[in-house]
Chain A
């Protein structure tokens, strides 16, 4: 099947308006005859379910947590971008569009990104109207901060809990519809398959996680808003339950998977402390506004720190290497994430790491504390303030800005980050890849849509900070309410979907067979053991740096782990009860296939771009030495993979990317 991205005609800034004016719509009376399933209640799903219900569709919403409010979006910290230009610093829709395409290393679809930038301002207005308490300045106006990869201040935030506040906004809109009976909420339910009837998505099979009952739900369209798959690495900043099952099951039913290898490794996370580690904790990128990243200049100092003979504060200013400021003077500590992560890895690999494992760099606030302290002393008209007073005042400012993050750090590490520089290291954070969708957010299966992190669409090979929240809400509030109508206009006479059809029987049988296989397997090892092994292979060979040999090894190792998993996994308990081991088994089974496809995709892409860094394809000389080397002539395309029954033998389809607005150049942050 040829990929059709369905990009509307016309100049880039008119495409969305044109499209909105030309799409078909469903009349209010007919909406009542149409059922829509929304899987996921994060920013994308919560916003979509609430909006579609307001419009009059019958919505069924699903999430695996015990409440819609707990979707992983809740954990986002730093902020959400919008081209409001409140700071009058030259921001505009075009600039946000441009920054996003460039930040994504020219591997995103221009038309989608432009639309995202276009609706971004509406998102802020919508959230304010819902009662989202964004940070404000003393004049009562909305405040902004800067994020990596851009030179304007366009990030809106709510202290360090922006995701929480935005999600609670969407959740309240959703619960309003639940209260009205317009949305039926199914929490503690996990979608385990999508049902295709006559080539169209017509429902899902879900497991009630409390009773274990397998349920059939029919609908005229199915929206997957199920988040990212970063947990294929076992250790990531994602919530423990985040998984790929919904997207993967859709993939196996015909939805192509776009750019699976594009993974974002976030530069500022709390380093791994031991083998018991179950997840990693992000320290928001907003910290890079004020924190300076460094390692010692001398190997001996780094070694002394690792052995506990010296502390960071013992290293004099002259012996510190602020390597981001050194390598990228124009952007300094605010280079994009992929660049910052690789630079940390480079220093640590060279032996400059500053914790026991050698995999940590400093994120230091002492300069900011001093600067803010002096500023405050001036404001408060304190003459000749003592050093202690300055520190005290400066700490108060830093605490006001990042207090909850500092507390979080201290809790986990057991060290006070005001006194000692934070130690950080990159960790898996976000997946740019996901289900391939056209401009309407429809997958290659008619009636099956993907929104938010679950799709591949807007971030190319690298996502800029504060843009995921923007995309999730744009998709859910402002895009899908239009585009789904265009599809559903054909369904006003279809009538309710009959879940007794043989297609539902077959899908349900596959689900129960899988469950029974796990429970009857009587192997010897818990699910987590296989997940950890998979994660290690992925991190070592398909992580921050990749090469052909490593990827080939990884594919063989993953196949081996998968084979052992099916033979030797032990899943306790029964099918018809609350069974968390069983839930994990199903998710890890899917990760074990996805991981292989990620390696296949990474192997295929013989270039470096964004989060995908192939060691063989780096600049070897000149001012950009060591930086990623794209190959636009051969790889300016989206890799959309089709399932053929074996992850290793997926079929590659290419969606060529054409750039009419933005000129392709080497991404330079020097």
Chain B
């Protein structure tokens, strides 16, 4: 057990219809080797032992890849530190005596389920609108090496494909835009020969769905790129815009 003492100010909200409020919790015995979520585990353990309702928060892999964890810590999506998710944040980033503010993602398109857990199904619907290559399962497709892909393109597509769908970009955007998320998928598939045939249709369909879900407009503040745990670059938004423009031009 460690010896840091902290004060947590945590958003509590019993359900979507509750107004919600910040509540204060002291935590003791925090060690700097703990992850932020392990620190919350300690707090929840104490709450349960007292018969109180523990704090609800989403998490699963706890290694920065599933995209489930989603906390707004001291005013930053995924907290202090760049290129990491909430579950990868460790307590050595904090000092004994610190007060830490913990809130859920805030976006009209991500309604709160309870406390710090939100509903991000809007992302799934954007994906379902066009985030795929229309290919059926079949045992006799062309050989994987039939179409060589320049390493540079493959690497760039890969960089875009590392998006974990966490929603930090939305939570951090002053307009609540989902452009970075949407652009990452459009860009990945546009960069690969397999995705090219549907590139324009995909851009149109995904952007249309994004607008339907109530995400805000992108005004190029660049905040998303800064907070994105996977370093998804604004370059992809530029590529999405190009695909989208090309698509609207040919459509008209």
Residue positions of A touching B, CB distance < 8 A = 47, 50-51, 54, 65-70, 72, 74-75, 84, 86, 119, 122, 124-142, 158-159, 161, 163-165, 168, 171-173, 175-176, 178-179, 185, 187, 210, 239-241, 273-279, 281, 407-408, 411-412, 414, 477-478, 481, 524-526, 528-529, 570, 572-573, 577-578, 580-581
Task: Tell whether, in the assembled complex, residue A281 and residue B63 are in contact, meaning their CB atoms are under 8 Å apart.
Answer: yes
Task: Tell whether, in the assembled complex, residue A75 and residue B161 are in contact, meaning their CB atoms are under 8 Å apart.
Answer: no
User: Which partner residue on chain A sits nearest B57 by CB separation?
Assistant: A580
B74 CB–A CB distance under 8 Å: no
Task: Tell whether, in the assembled complex, residue A414 and residue B92 are in contact, meaning their CB atoms are under 8 Å apart.
Answer: yes
Given A74-B61, A572-B51, the answer on whether A578 and B117 have CB atoms closer than 8 Å is yes
Residues on A with beta carbons closer than 8 Å to the beta carbon of B135: 126, 129-130, 173
A408 to B65, CA, bound (A): 11
Task: Tell whether, in the assembled complex, residue B150 and residue A140 are in contact, meaning their CB atoms are under 8 Å apart.
Answer: yes
Residues on A with beta carbons closer than 8 Å to the beta carbon of B1: 274-276
Task: Tell whether, in the assembled complex, residue A124 and residue B144 are in contact, meaning their CB atoms are under 8 Å apart.
Answer: yes
A175 to B136, CA, bound (A): 13
Given A570-B48, A570-B49, the answer on whether A175 and B132 have CB atoms closer than 8 Å is yes
Task: Tell whether, in the assembled complex, residue B45 and residue A528 are in contact, meaning their CB atoms are under 8 Å apart.
Answer: yes
A124 to B143, CA, bound (A): 8
Given A65-B66, A581-B48, the answer on whether A86 and B61 have CB atoms closer than 8 Å is no
Residues on A with beta carbons closer than 8 Å to the beta carbon of B58: 66
B64 CB–A CB distance under 8 Å: yes
Given A133-B161, A279-B62, A414-B90, the answer on whether A176 and B113 have CB atoms closer than 8 Å is no
Task: Tell whether, in the assembled complex, residue A578 and residue B56 are in contact, meaning their CB atoms are under 8 Å apart.
Answer: yes
Given A75-B63, A165-B161, A274-B34, the answer on whether A125 and B142 have CB atoms closer than 8 Å is yes
A135 to B150, CA, bound (A): 11
Number of chain B residues close to chain A: CB under 8 A: 83
Residue positions of B touching A, CB distance < 8 A = 1-2, 14-15, 31-35, 37-38, 41-42, 44-45, 47-49, 51-54, 56, 58-68, 83-84, 88, 90, 92, 113-114, 117, 119-121, 123-124, 127-145, 148-151, 154-155, 157-158, 161-162, 164-165, 188-189, 192, 194-195
Task: Tell whether, in the assembled complex, residue A129 and residue B141 are in contact, meaning their CB atoms are under 8 Å apart.
Answer: yes
Task: Tell whether, in the assembled complex, residue B63 and residue A72 are in contact, meaning their CB atoms are under 8 Å apart.
Answer: no
Task: Tell whether, in the assembled complex, residue A133 and residue B63 are in contact, meaning their CB atoms are under 8 Å apart.
Answer: no
Task: Tell whether, in the assembled complex, residue B154 and residue A135 are in contact, meaning their CB atoms are under 8 Å apart.
Answer: yes
User: Which partner residue on chain A sits nearest B154 by CB separation?
Assistant: A136
Instruction: Kindly provide the distance from the CB of A585 to the nearest chain B CB, expressed in whole angstroms.
Output: 11
A277 to B42, CA, bound (A): 10
* Cβ-neighbour of A125 out of B37, B131, B136, B143 (below 8 A): B143
A125 to B158, CA, bound (A): 17
Task: Tell whether, in the assembled complex, residue A168 and residue B161 are in contact, meaning their CB atoms are under 8 Å apart.
Answer: yes
Given A66-B58, A276-B38, A525-B49, the answer on whether A577 and B114 have CB atoms closer than 8 Å is yes
Can you identify 6 A-B contacts, CB atoms within 8 angstroms? A131-B133, A136-B154, A176-B132, A274-B2, A414-B90, A528-B41
Given A138-B151, A275-B1, A412-B90, the answer on whether A526 and B162 have CB atoms closer than 8 Å is no
Task: Tell whether, in the assembled complex, residue B149 and residue A572 are in contact, meaning their CB atoms are under 8 Å apart.
Answer: no
By Cβ-Cβ distance, the 8 closest A-B pairs, closest first, are: A140-B148, A172-B132, A179-B128, A133-B158, A128-B144, A51-B137, A526-B48, A175-B128
Task: Tell whether, in the assembled complex, residue A187 and residue B124 are in contact, meaning their CB atoms are under 8 Å apart.
Answer: yes
User: Which partner residue on chain A sits nearest B115 by CB separation?
Assistant: A578
User: Which partner residue on chain A sits nearest B30 by CB separation?
Assistant: A276
Task: Tell whether, in the assembled complex, residue B139 and residue A119 are in contact, meaning their CB atoms are under 8 Å apart.
Answer: yes
Task: Tell whether, in the assembled complex, residue B142 and residue A175 are in contact, meaning their CB atoms are under 8 Å apart.
Answer: no
Residues on B with beta carbons closer than 8 Å to the beta carbon of A273: 33
Task: Tell whether, in the assembled complex, residue A278 and residue B56 are in contact, meaning their CB atoms are under 8 Å apart.
Answer: no
Task: Tell whether, in the assembled complex, residue B151 and residue A140 are in contact, meaning their CB atoms are under 8 Å apart.
Answer: yes
* Cβ-neighbour of A278 out of B41, B66, B149 (below 8 A): B41
User: Which partner residue on chain A sits nearest B55 by CB separation?
Assistant: A580
Task: Tell whether, in the assembled complex, residue A171 and residue B141 are in contact, meaning their CB atoms are under 8 Å apart.
Answer: no
Task: Tell whether, in the assembled complex, residue A478 and residue B139 are in contact, meaning their CB atoms are under 8 Å apart.
Answer: yes
Which among A137, A175, A414 has the greatest number of chain B C-beta atoms within 10 A?
Answer: A175
Residues on B with beta carbons closer than 8 Å to the beta carbon of A175: 124, 127-128, 131-132
